[in-house]
A and B are shown apart, each in its own frame.
Chain A
């Protein structure tokens, strides 16, 4: 692998895809298929999660199995905020991102001391720890998960409307992908990719390898997972409201879907 360089067709393709996405809700409504708006939102949110893992795994070469824990942390932050009546996304998103990022910083600071398969296992262990912590936290729903009472407001616009929610997720995804593209091209992105290729050499050239990796790892936790989370939590509200109960859970489904995301990102990175 070399440095990331987008293929010539990628930019036009991305713009075309964005345009399609912009009109998608209208098209779906025109055909009376509103259900698929929620479905498409879910896809966008998982793409957001995958693009975060891509930073850590694809560019950074750090094979983390604990990534789902950051996703779950952000979701819990959002759900707890909403449970306490804080509904403003402009407040909740940064908070969820911050907490997830701090958690990632902590996990990274310990895990990145190890290499190779030990790193895989220690991140997996942290994922398990987060899982057991949340499952036994009875104040936050324990095994049943945490109910979400509604959706966030984004700058005064309620996301309770499926279409508004779709556009919010789309905006997050587009921002994140643009950010990732810029980051990969920036000095920081170049350094972490070079570390992936040859750690010893970068160390010899005087780069603080551990710190670069740690920042990349924490950014993976902050950037997209925090953002991804809040909409995903609210998404759960939509799908399970028919059962009369709503949940956010840091469960193994998340982690397995994140491992599945790993498949797409490894191809893409």
Chain B
């Protein structure tokens, strides 16, 4: 068996695949955030909360209907409805405020959502099972992959493609972009910018729930699952460039692979170069902060991210 950096190639391929799965998951999550962030210019910390609530809704609906796909559909619809209520009540007030008020208001939503979920579903994680048809492995080019993870990759690419068509090619996307760059003039041309913004926000909320529902079977559906993921989604967007769909997709794949491969390879690499004691301390630490170092490095050299949306 061939080895690279002391890791068997089979394991390495598995890690690469895992990186791709994580990247696709980040893509679904951060594409929604990218649209809200880039088009509506809102720093939405509640994105993680919507993701968590979405995952709970999917789990509850899947349990009630005894079908993963029906649950996913119902959960996404529920999260979209919640997004609509939030936009109408709170976010509408935030578009014109500065980033400080936006962060504080949406941070409050995280706390509220965490407690609300704990009251409704309890502190114990909720189980969500993948559909039976997809629980087995699939063979590709001599390697076995879990089918469900391939579905996540497919969803990630599909969402990215759909969003690209919507934002860059469709008339509605053109209106949204126009509204984002100059709201007054777009309104003067007879376009209902407020309605469009509401639709964009609802769409972002639905994507959150989609990500939560898809990841539910792999990770535990639990209180606080949104926070860590939220920061990663922001890292993705910062790396990709705020408001850029392409940037969010590329950023997700970069973050997913760097994070996964770093965790797999760094400890071995360090053990080869450093004394065992230092390596066992430094390895996990360095692997955890690798993507933040990456982000700081990219911001240092390209303060606008890799694909600046507006020149």
Report which A residues bind B (CB closer than 8 A): 57, 63, 65, 110, 113-118, 120-122, 124-126, 128-129, 132-133, 135-139, 252, 256, 259, 262-263, 266
Are B231's CB and A128's CB within 8 A? yes
Report which B residues bind A (CB closer than 8 A): 37, 43, 99-100, 103-104, 107, 111, 227, 231, 234-235, 238, 242, 280-282, 284-285, 288-289, 292-293, 295-296, 299-300, 303
A residues within 8 A CB of B231? 124-125, 128
CB distance from A67 to the nearest CB of B (A): 13
Chain B residue nearest to A133 in the complex (CB): B285
Contact of A252 among B227, B292, B295, B300 (CB under 8 A): B227
A-B contact pairs, 14 of them (CB 8 A): A113-B299, A117-B242, A118-B303, A122-B238, A122-B299, A124-B234, A125-B296, A126-B296, A135-B285, A136-B284, A136-B285, A259-B103, A262-B104, A266-B104
Are A137's CB and B285's CB within 8 A? yes
**Given A110-B299, A124-B234, 8 new contacts (CB under 8 A):** A120-B43, A132-B289, A135-B285, A136-B284, A136-B285, A262-B104, A263-B104, A266-B104
Mostly, the A contact residues are helix
B residues within 8 A CB of A116? 99
B residues within 8 A CB of A115? 303
Chain B residue nearest to A125 in the complex (CB): B292
Chain A residue nearest to B242 in the complex (CB): A117
Nearest 9 pairs between A and B by C-beta?
A136-B285, A132-B288, A125-B292, A129-B289, A136-B284, A129-B292, A121-B238, A132-B289, A114-B303
Known A136-B284, A266-B100: A128·B292 in contact at CB below 8 Å: yes
Contact of A126 among B111, B242, B292 (CB under 8 A): B292
Are A122's CB and B99's CB within 8 A? no
CB distance from A112 to the nearest CB of B (A): 11
Are B104's CB and A122's CB within 8 A? no
Chain B residue nearest to A122 in the complex (CB): B299
Are A63's CB and B285's CB within 8 A? no
CB distance from B284 to the nearest CB of A (A): 5
Q: How far apart sit A116 and B295, CA to CA, in the bound complex (Å)?
A: 16
A residues within 8 A CB of B300? 110, 113
Q: How far apart sit A121 and B45, CA to CA, in the bound complex (Å)?
A: 11
Determine which residue in A116, A122, A135, A263 has the highest number of CB atoms from chain B within 10 A of its CB, and name it: A122
Known A114-B299, A122-B295: A63·B100 in contact at CB below 8 Å: yes
Q: How far apart sit A256 and B231, CA to CA, in the bound complex (Å)?
A: 14
Chain B residue nearest to A116 in the complex (CB): B99
B residues within 8 A CB of A121? 234-235, 238, 295
B residues within 8 A CB of A65? 103
A residues within 8 A CB of B111? 256
A residues within 8 A CB of B292? 125-126, 128-129, 132
Are B296's CB and A128's CB within 8 A? no
